[in-house]
Structure 1
Amino acid sequence: MPFKLKAIVWVIGGILGIYIPTSMLSLNIHNGFYVKQMANCGEDASNSLASLLSGDEMSIRGNDLDNIAKDLKSCQKNLDYNKGLVTSLREERARDSKQTSSLK
């Protein structure tokens, strides 16, 4: 196969690979981003619970725990397996920048 044809196939495969996993490696990356969405839900819930428990234990109400449980359920409902690579990367970048700005 000539080099130009190989290059064209690589470019088309790369463009399709952004939206449709075309190889085992891209399928693993796609699944990894889905798992990352699930991990983000768990991380948000555990951070909310940790901030709730770091305060005065006598001020914890049942509504606070219910709100954390509702947030976790809504986050799990919003998981999207068909989310593209570019969208996932944009969301992760926004999430990381939001977390680093809150640390300053």
Structure 2
Amino acid sequence: MFSRRRIIVIAVMSALGIPVSLLGVQIKEVIFAKQMINCQQDASMAIISMLDGNLGTDKSRDFEQITSNFKNCNRDIDPNMGAVKFGIKEYSRSHSG
């Protein structure tokens, strides 16, 4: 049976996004990897759109914009993101235009 102190510690650490078990650490790694994959996917789709001619006629400016967006996306990756915030971001990402 869990003691009251252990339950409080687990609740506080979970609320702060600190893993309390090996499964928690693995979930944090998956969240981090998914954020990186999302950035790469966004950049790949933008390059494919640019090469298909869906973007403007100035390809060098479009490529600079894609590079800038990719750098910003990589900078915004949060290795300490909690599961709830990640779930909300992924839900909004999957239901956006």
Flag whether TM exceeds 0.5 (same fold): yes
TM range (shorter): 0.7 to 0.9
Count of equivalent residues: 93
Structure 1 SS opposite 2:2: helix
Instruction: Spell out, residue by residue over 1:38-96, the C-alpha distance to the aligned partner (whole angstroms, 9 max, x if none).
Output: 0100010001011111127xx35211111111110111111111111111111001101
Q: Is residue 72 from structure 1 mapped to residue 70 from structure 2 by the alignment?
A: yes
Which is richer in helix? 1
Gaps in structure 2 of 5+ consecutive residues: none
Larger radius of gyration: 1
Letter of the 2:13 partner, please give it: L
Query: What are the ranges of 5 or more consecutive residues in structure 1 without an aligned counterpart?
Result: none
Q: Return 15-24 or 37-46, whichever deviates more.
A: 15-24
Identical amino acids, percent of aligned pairs: 28
Compute the TM-score of the two structures, normalised by the length of structure 2: 0.81
Conserved 8 A contact 1:52-1:60: no
The answer on 1:13 being equivalent to 2:6 is: no
